[in-house]
Structure 1
Amino acid sequence: MSDLKRIGIVGTGLIGKGIAVEVDRQANMILESVLTRRDLGTMEDHPFPDRLTNSVEAFIEACDLIVECSGDVIYGTEVIARAVEAAIPVVTMNAELQVTTGSYFAKKGFITEAEGDQPGCLAALHENMIDMGFEPLVYGNIKGFMKLDPTREDMTYWSNRNGVRLDMTTSFTDGTKVQIEQALVANGLQAGIAVDGLLAPYAEDLNEAGALLAEEADRLGHPISDFVLAPKGPPGVFITGKHDERQQKTLRYLKMGEGPYYTVLQNHHLCHLEVVKTIKRVINGGGVLLNNGLKPQVGVGAVAKHTLYPGERIDKGVGSFQVRGKAVKLADYHDHVPIGLLVDAVMKRQVDPGEMVTFADVELPESLALSAWLETIEMVHMPI
């Protein structure tokens, strides 16, 4: 893949613009095209207005590799399908898409999540930990604040203050985003989850919280993906694991503690600034960093925040004030609707607060994303 140079970006939000600037700075790649659904006449604030297009066909034809960061599961799935048909590698910063349709694409073409967001950063840290001889037990995300049912007024204030879309701000706050991210990590790194909705211990000390989660992973007999609620913690990720007992004294000298559990912290994730590392990885033949796997074990369902009534419309589940995401074991929830598919959906039956939306409860429009999910879930439940 050493001849890959022409880079295309799907998405023109805050992250998409940042990635565009960084790609344009690189000596070994060209920002060839940026795909958007917005009116091009209103895009004067984009750093490269001359590279914008509304044409999926022209975009695919112009690019050797695409970066999908639209934040839209339905639309992103359609674009990636075109890229895969054209044998174009796909780098995503779209965990919502990965846990919904990523497995469908993983068996058809090249798709990888990028470094920058927490899942990609955990995957890169995992590679580093393995190289150093650690046995990872906990793939941990760090969340500073969470409110399961935030008000529209509060979310509008923070959305405007941070320059981030309202739905994104809400999904960060109500825990949907972290549930999605850790589901992707579980599937991509052959881990699992300890409980539906994750354990999410409160953490004054990350080493103590990591050890607590590692004890649970040991009890379960497999690594787990989870997060800690740490108001004073850094905006990063961590992995807690074991090491060869012969290294105990040296690790103690290196300030890693007494063991048997050791936590390695990456105290940042720099989103768009790190994506170019994954692009270079793919260009240089480095392979997949992280995707949702061919046979995922964890999904993200939609839990009602308030009573959902027949006829009620859900424009978009992720980041809504109607539902929030919850990581679940797919073996236990055959009929749940992935929150990423709740787009232009209409309720058929009443769902009470705290209950999970199932396919019997809602009418979904036909889409490639829906077909891809149904194919994936059928494969998941197929006997080995």
Structure 2
Amino acid sequence: MSYRDRLQRRLDDTGRPVRVGLIGAGQMGRGFAAQLLKMPGVSLSAVFDVDRDRAVEAFSQAGITASSATDPDVAARAIENGESVALGGVDEIGALPLDIVVEATGVPDVGARTAIESLAAGMDYATLNVEQDVTVGRYMLRLAEESGRLYSVCRGDEPVETKILVDFARDLNLEVICAGKGKNNPLDPYATPEGLAAEAARKKMNPKMLTEFVDGSKAMIEMAALANTTGLEMSRRGMYGPSSTVPTLHETFALQEDGGVLDRPGVVDYCIGPVAPGVFVIVRTDDPYVQHEMAYLQMGDGPYFSLYRPYHLASIEAPLTVYSMVLDREASLTSEHWTSEVGAESKRPLKAGELITGIGTDTIRGLADPADDFLEENGVPLGVLAGARLVRDVPADHMLSYDDVELDEDSLIVKMRRYQEAMARGEDVPSLKDLQAAIAR
């Protein structure tokens, strides 16, 4: 039975819809809201955004007038009465009667804070913020399990949609050689928001978000998330990123001994060229009859074959994770493995004392790395660098380490990353209750 029919049945049985809260009413959040509001049995009960007008617009685009309630108790009653509320902050999350919270800010610190508050209040938590997951995803999964609720990265972006292809290949007992995506934008490792301002305006995007796409940071983040959910390895630091086409994917991502770019099987990577916005998995089989059948089905000549999905629908597809969590109690993507990290390279020479302005700016870009190599070189995660200061001069194209920077130790995402690293060492780490108390202080 479809999710649509099951949600309608749930509404008929319980008398009330699934109550969803949305954090962040930018491009991704509004796309999510627009699609979610078309589904029966689901209510977008609250939208939170630092710019309350954007939260209001997330409702008005669907012809819904949001309640003007701002007091948490009044807002809670409005939701109980079937109304929707638009709020300018996130402090009220834990006081509202929501079933699941979806976060779409792309800011790791905001994602961490709202996840803790939501889980502690007994709500499931889904995120479009892959940046957060590659930084503290393993710790987030532990906190969710402790709370008895679910945590998940949302469907729609490449990590989850590629994972589905990986699961499909593994269920067919095909050997996974490589899984990955086509890069959506031309690669410019030195892109800046200022240089992309006009293009961002044409596309109605935040210039920092577009910069994150163009400079390769987003591809690094997404492929690391894919690696950490599937157990596949990072192909190499920064990945190969070759040019390819859909018909030649299985040739490009074959092993080097067979004419491809890869030095070993079981990795993630991306490509440049007319493959985006699709995702792919390259598989191999040595069985002569399976090769014959695959060739008959026009999948290639073998032994390498491409499984290709020609699209990902980003925020439009994200509501599927909400339905899966509510109805099936299943997450779409969690970091169950630790094979990859995302560090940072300097885009230009940086001076001691200079402030790092974070992802999608003119200071740094993301750089994916095998986890063991990253640990050995004392790499510092991309997701904790916003607000950090250089303690020494570094040249352009330098991979930053903890020795290069002084982090903002008051930042929640920095604290959580410290705890995740302690967790990996087998040390005790704060509980969800402890973290919530620390936020309250």
TM-score normalised by length of structure 2: 0.80
Q: Choose which of 74, 79, 97 in structure 1 pairs with 2:114.
A: 79
Mapped partners of 2:363, 2:120: distance in 1? 36
1:198 Cα deviation from its structure 2 partner: 0.7
Alignment of 1:56-205 (within 5 A): 56-60=90-94, 61-109=96-144, 110-144=150-184, 145-204=186-245, 205=248
Which runs of 5 or more structure 2 residues have no equivalent in the other structure? 1-6, 67-84, 145-149, 428-441
1:352 pairs with one of 376, 379, 395: 395
Q: Greater shift after overlay, 338-347 or 68-77?
A: 338-347
Q: Which amino acid aligns with 1:174?
A: D
Is 1:314 aligned to residue 356 of structure 2?
yes
Percent identical = 26
For 1:372, the aligned partner's letter is M
Distance in 2, Cα, partners of 1:85 & 1:105: 12
User: Whole-Å Cα distance in 2 between the matches of residues 155 and 196 of structure 1?
Assistant: 26
Residue of structure 1 equivalent to 2:374? 333
Query: Highest Rg: 1 or 2?
Result: 2
Cα distance in 2 between the residues matched to 1:120 and 1:218: 23
Contact 2:235 2:262 in 1 (8 A): no
Q: Is the 8 A contact 1:193 1:224 kept in 2?
A: yes
Q: Are 1:380 and 2:434 an aligned pair?
A: no
Stretch deviating more after TM superposition (296-305 or 125-134): 125-134
Partner of 2:339 in structure 1? 297
Q: Is the 8 A contact 1:189 1:290 kept in 2?
A: no
Contact 1:214 1:261 in 2 (8 A): no
Q: Would the alpha carbon gap of residues 278 and 74 (structure 1) be closer, same or farther in structure 2, given more than 3 Å must change?
A: same
Q: CA 1:32/1:244 → structure 2, altered by over 3 Å: closer, same or farther?
A: farther
Q: Distance in 1 between matches of 2:415 and 2:302?
A: 47
**Distance of aligned partners of 1:126 and 1:213 in 2 relative to their CA distance in 1, 3 Å threshold:** farther
Structure 1: 5+ residue runs without aligned partners? none
Change (3 A) 1:344 1:312: same
Sort the Cα spacing of 1:297 and 1:244 in 2 relative to 1 into closer, same or farther, 3 A: same
Aligned to 2:318: 275
**SS of corresponding position for 2:221:** helix
State the distance in 2 between where 1:43 and 1:380 align.
38
Report 1 or 2 for greater relative contact order, CA contacts < 8 Å, sequence distance ≥ 6: 1
RMSD: 2.4
The AA in structure 1 aligned to 2:330 is: G
Checking the alignment, whether the CA contact within 8 Å between 1:217 and 1:224 is kept in structure 2 is no
**Aligned-partner Cα distance in 1 for 2:54–2:332:** 36
